[in-house]
Amino acid sequence: MTEDRLLAGLAALAADAPDGLFDRIAARWVSVPGPIGELRVAFTDHGVAYVHPREGFAEAFRERFGRPLLPAARPPAGLLPALRTGRASGVRLDLRELSDFQRDVLEAAREIPHGEVRPYSWIAARIGRPRAVRAVGTALADNPVPLLVPCHRVTRSDGAVGDYVFGAAAKERLLMAEGVDLERLRRLAGERVFYLASDTTGVVCFPTCHNARRITPAHRHGFRTLAQARAAGYRPCRTCRPAQVAPE
DNA sequence: CGCATGGCCCTTA
DNA sequence: TTAAGGGCCATGC
């Protein structure tokens, strides 16, 4: 269409423009392998701006950003290892289009370690808006850079996996590939256990916290709420910070 | 213990 | 300016 040619023309002009101009006008894209199939990734000089399955990528990008796209010769620094390992700390992100709230949500989600999960309410508390739980879900649904911001590691407080921008099934696959024992989490949730404590350390954790995984069964105690764990004399783990959910 | 309900808050139309 | 609705949550049967 003529609109596409106009955009392509603008992009070509922008590509030859002085430093800094290009990424205010356009973006580049590459096709890369991802954990759930081939992905296309758009980026600017500021970092990765968009991650989307190959199917429908260009249309979705245009709808969202309304900017021209040019193919890139090579992926941005750190992208391939980030997607291969699921640890994305080494890749820069371009989140300039987002609201402050959305950026806060994504930054909090980025703190969740590989192989672990946290509730939506944990994110809400972490960014200082403990009641904005639904809004957190909305912000994650709009995450422009899934996988790099691991929104698949945000799950529901009742133990269910919850929804995902690429579908709940993909979320489960990603988590299992990271070593999250969903079966065990479901079993615990069935017993209404959402926190695990150790009577040797006196610390209470989220079940997937790497500190919780090492608790010897004989010393492990499950709790339904953080308040109950506290009442039993446990203090919240400083690594997984379950206190974020129920401050006080 | 599964389901319904009211609550909350950010974004968009 | 307002209103509606969403990757949720806590509570109450």
Give yes or no for a contact between A248 and A236, defined as CB atoms under 8 angstroms apart. no
Active-site choice (A151, A205, A209, A240): A151
Q: How confident is the model at residue A20 (pLDDT cuts 50, 70, 90)?
A: low
A139 pLDDT more than 50: yes
Which DSSP symbol is given to A113?
Answer: P
Q: What is the mean pLDDT of chain A?
A: 91
In 3D space, the residue among A183, A221, A216 whose CA is nearest the CA of residue A205 turns out to be A221
Which percentage of chain A shows pLDDT scores above 90? 85
Which DSSP symbol is given to A246?
Answer: S
Question: Among the CATH numbers 1.20.1440, 2.40.30, 3.30.160, 2.40.230, which is that of A2-85?
Answer: 3.30.160
pLDDT for residue A23: 64
Domain extents for chain A? Answer: 2-85, 100-181, 185-236
Q: Which residues pair with A71 in a beta bridge?
A: A29
pLDDT for residue A247: 44
Query: What is the fold, at CATH topology level, of the domain defined by A100-181?
Result: Arc Repressor Mutant, subunit A (1.10.10)
Give CA–CA dist A185/A175, Å, rounded.
12
Nucleotide with the nearest C1' to A133 CA: C8
Phi-psi region for residue A92, left (φ > 0), alpha (ψ -120 to 50) or beta?
beta
pLDDT single digits (tens) A199-229? 999 999 999 999 998 999 999 999 999 999 9
Which DSSP symbol is given to A74?
Answer: S
pLDDT single digits (tens) A71-96? 999 999 999 999 999 999 999 999 99
A19 pLDDT more than 70: no
Give CA–CA dist A32/A74, Å, rounded.
10
Q: Please tell me whether any atom of strand B lies within 7 Å of the Cβ of A143.
A: no
Task: Give the number of residues written for chain A.
Answer: 248
Nucleotide with the nearest C1' to A100 CA: B10
Which DSSP symbol is given to A18?
Answer: P
pLDDT single digits (tens) A101-120? 999 999 999 999 999 999 99
Burial class (CB in 10 A: 0-12, 13-18, 19+), A73: exposed
Instruction: State both tokens at A192.
Output: 């209404």
CA dihedral A88, A93, A98, A100 (to 10 degrees): 70
Residue A205: active-site member: no
This prediction's pTM: 0.91
Which DSSP symbol is given to A248?
Answer: -
